[in-house]
């Protein structure tokens, strides 16, 4: 007979799956459990209908206290995927694994290659490739907080699987192995040297091929995960990309500082967005048409979802979403992507070409 606590957990989970803890319906589809699921995770996904070519895949990892549906709602990933024809996969934590629904980024058995939670997510990706036809050459991962730290663990443990990753308010790979150590690192205490960070990354696999690109996002007033972790993540990845300290390029994007490091080939390999005045959460720009403010989804005038997808080539780099139409000019259509104006039908020509290539719906 099930215990009362187990019954309460199952009921709470059912409610969360229906509403995403946001009062909105869950539009994602439950992924069949993979053959190997040592991390005991649940998967949710969305794929484009009848794509002209195998679609790219973005793996999205929610933060603590969140569900897959709630994070999707706030970040806008599935809506962006629907508009531009790529697939999304949302692994989801369970309370049996972690009472706060955090991915266990600080437990070595869950971040070691071919073990625990990272293996469960790797098997979900294999299912998306084998069953749902996604392109194995275009697999990406992103996550917030504990999800960001787990995204970094996946990039370190399976670098051959991913073309790129984006870590939002996350932590470096393998810097904690106990709960007290995890809290210390979150506060920025005891972070290893760049040499040690590099060694931890290199020892996570026997990878000898090209390394995935890394995008790091962090708020300057984050009191949950100290901003020092963002620089530590950059330091962890500079070595494998051959990006020397100090040899970066800086610019301002949507009012926030972006610093970029190139690898030996001249490719932008690492980027670091410092979101001025933002606390702990995912940067959201409701005017973009993707995502909305919610718990740990913070309106700061820049959409991490849109910029990350552009950086990975999943949406046109030339496209910019216009601001909402003012009441004097008539209302904007609610929740509709806004296309920029281009002369002489150039926009339509480019979009037709993208559709013909299967890169846009």
List active site positions.
145
Cα–Cα dist 223/199, whole Å: 28
Q: Report residue 30 CA to chain centroid gap.
A: 19
Torsion angle of C-alpha atoms 206, 185, 144, 247, degrees rounded to 10: -70
Tokens 């846009």 sit at which residue? 360
| Integer angstrom CA distances of residue 27 from 68, 133, 170, 211 | 10, 20, 26, 33
Cα–Cα dist 276/120, whole Å: 35
Q: 92: closest CA among 112, 116, 64, 62?
A: 62
3-class DSSP assignment, residue 195: helix
Report residue 32 as tokens: 């069949």
Query: Nearest 5°: phi and psi at 307?
Result: -70, -40
Q: 306: closest CA among 215, 245, 225, 241?
A: 215
Query: Nearest 5°: phi and psi at 92?
Result: -130, 135
């Amino acid at each position: 007979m099930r215990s009362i606590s187990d019954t309460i957990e199952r009921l709470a989970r059912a409610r969360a799956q229906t509403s995403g803890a946001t009062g909105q319906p869950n539009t994602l589809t439950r992924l069949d459990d993979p053959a190997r699921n040592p991390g005991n995770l649940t998967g949710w996904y969305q794929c484009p209908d009848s794509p002209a070519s195998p679609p790219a895949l973005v793996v999205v990892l929610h933060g603590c206290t969140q569900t897959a549906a709630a994070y999707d709602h706030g970040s806008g990933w599935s809506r962006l995927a629907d508009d531009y024809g790529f697939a999304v996969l949302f692994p989801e934590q369970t309370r049996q694994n972690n009472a706060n629904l955090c991915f266990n980024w600080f437990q070595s058995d869950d971040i070691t290659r071919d073990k625990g939670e990272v293996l469960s997510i790797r098997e979900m990706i294999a299912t998306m490739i084998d069953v749902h036809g996604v392109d194995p050459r275009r697999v990406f991962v992103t996550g917030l907080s504990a999800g960001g730290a787990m995204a970094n663990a996946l990039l370190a443990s399976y670098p051959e699987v991913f073309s790129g990753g984006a870590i939002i308010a996350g932590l470096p790979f393998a810097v904690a192995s106990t709960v007290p150590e995890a809290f210390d690192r979150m506060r920025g205490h005891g972070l290893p040297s760049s040499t040690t960070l590099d060694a931890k990354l290199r020892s996570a696999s026997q990878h000898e091929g090209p390394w995935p690109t890394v995008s790091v996002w962090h708020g300057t007033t984050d009191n949950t995960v100290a901003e020092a972790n963002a620089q530590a993540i950059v330091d962890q990845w500079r070595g494998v990309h051959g990006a020397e300290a100090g040899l970066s390029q800086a610019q301002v994007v949507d009012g926030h500082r972006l610093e970029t490091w190139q690898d030996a080939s001249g490719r932008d390999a690492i980027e670091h967005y410092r979101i001025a005045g933002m606390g702990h959460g995912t940067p959201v720009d409701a005017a973009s048409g993707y995502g909305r403010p919610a718990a740990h989804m913070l309106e700061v005038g820049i959409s991490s979802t849109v910029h990350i997808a552009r950086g990975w080539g999943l949406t046109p780099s030339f496209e910019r979403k216009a601001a909402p139409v003012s009441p004097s000019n008539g209302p904007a259509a609610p929740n509709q992507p806004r296309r920029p104006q281009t002369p002489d039908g150039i926009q339509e020509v480019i979009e037709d070409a993208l559709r013909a290539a299967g890169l846009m719906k």
